[in-house]
Each structure stands twice: as C-alpha cells, then as structure tokens.
C-alpha cells in the first residue's frame, strides 16, 4: 500500500466518524428534544382552557385562549415545576371539576360564564390550603403568561426589540472633553 492510498483511507475514515453519527439520530425522530406536556385528561385540558378564558376573556383585546396561555401553562408546569407541584395542580383541576358539578350540576368547561366565575370565587374562598394554593398558582401563572406574551409587550408596554437604539448622526461637541 502506498502513502497516497493510506492518507485517502485515513481521511475518509475520519470524516465518516465525524459525520455519520448525526445521520441516524433516533432521539430526534422520536421528538425527545421537544418540551413535554402534563398528563392531562381531555376534561382537564378543557377545564384549564376555560379557566384561562374566564380570567382573561376576549373583548376589545385578545383573550388568553387566543394567545395560547393554556398551552404556555401546560408546558411551564410540566418542564419547570417539580412533581409534587404538578400533582397538586392536577388535583386542583379535579377539585375544580368537583366544585363545578356540586354547584352547577355541570362540568366547569360546559358552565356559563357567570357560573364559572362563581366556582372560581368559591375556590378562592376555600379554607383548604391546597385549594387556595392551586387558585393562587393558576392566577399567578395566567397573569405571567399574558404579561410575557408578545401581544401584551408590543401593544401595552414601551417594548423595544433593541433598547437604546444606535444613532449614527449624533452631533459632537466642538470642544474636547476636559478631565
């Protein structure tokens, strides 16, 4: 074997070792790089969406459902909170459903707007620490989701994509600076 053939073989082997592992990435095919969601039942998803709609209804401004706050809450709780908080949240959604059935004989997401408000007020006035904590958490996270949305930041605050913009034509003083 001559030197030229050996160098070609070595180069092909090195480049193959560098590039071929990326060709068969099974994790990317399975979507493991995506954020996970909470294990919500269909009823719990609808109740979460209805809670967001009750707190931030659509009127002359965009509502929470239109902005996707319920999706934000799902991803935030699943990826940024510990398992005990997630379980408490899921238990709170079940408690919300129970209260709605007890007060209105219907599911929370099927109830009228005024009935939903009454259920949420009852949940806020609950004596159980878990129910009060659930109500406070969901209210806080809905507000966080809304106030950090692009819609809110661009329409209701003095949002600048790049603060302190560059002005290339600024006049310079005639006198040099004195120290």
pLDDT digits (tens, 9 = 90+) for 50-99: 999 999 999 999 999 999 999 999 999 999 899 999 999 999 999 999 99
| Torsion of Cα atoms, 147 then 57 then 125 then 38, to 10° | -70
pTM over 0.75, yes/no: no
Is 71 exposed, middle or buried (CB count within 10 Å of its CB: 0-12, 13-18, 19+)? middle
* Residue ranges covered by each domain of the chain: 42-52+63-155
Residues counted in the chain? 179
Query: Which residue has tokens 């600048």?
Result: 160
Regions of the chain with pLDDT less than 50: 31-32
Is 165 exposed, middle or buried (CB count within 10 Å of its CB: 0-12, 13-18, 19+)? exposed
| Torsion of Cα atoms, 106 then 109 then 111 then 115, to 10° | 110
């Amino acid at each position: 074997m001559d030197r030229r053939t050996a160098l070609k073989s070595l180069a092909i082997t090195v480049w193959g070792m560098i590039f071929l592992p990326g060709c068969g990435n099974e994790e990317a095919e399975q979507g493991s790089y995506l954020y996970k969601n909470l294990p919500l039942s269909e009823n719990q998803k609808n109740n979460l969406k209805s809670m967001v709609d009750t707190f931030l209804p659509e009127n002359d401004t965009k509502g929470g459902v239109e902005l996707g706050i319920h999706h934000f809450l799902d991803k935030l709780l699943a990826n940024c909170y510990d398992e005990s908080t997630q379980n408490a949240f899921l238990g709170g959604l079940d408690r919300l459903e129970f209260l709605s059935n007890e007060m209105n004989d219907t599911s929370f997401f099927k109830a009228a707007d005024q009935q939903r408000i009454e259920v949420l007020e009852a949940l806020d006035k609950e004596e159980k620490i878990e129910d009060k904590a659930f109500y406070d958490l969901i209210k806080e996270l809905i507000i966080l989701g809304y106030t950090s949305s692009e819609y809110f930041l661009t329409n209701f605050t003095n949002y600048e994509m790049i603060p302190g913009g560059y002005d290339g034509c600024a006049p310079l003083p005639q006198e040099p600076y004195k120290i």
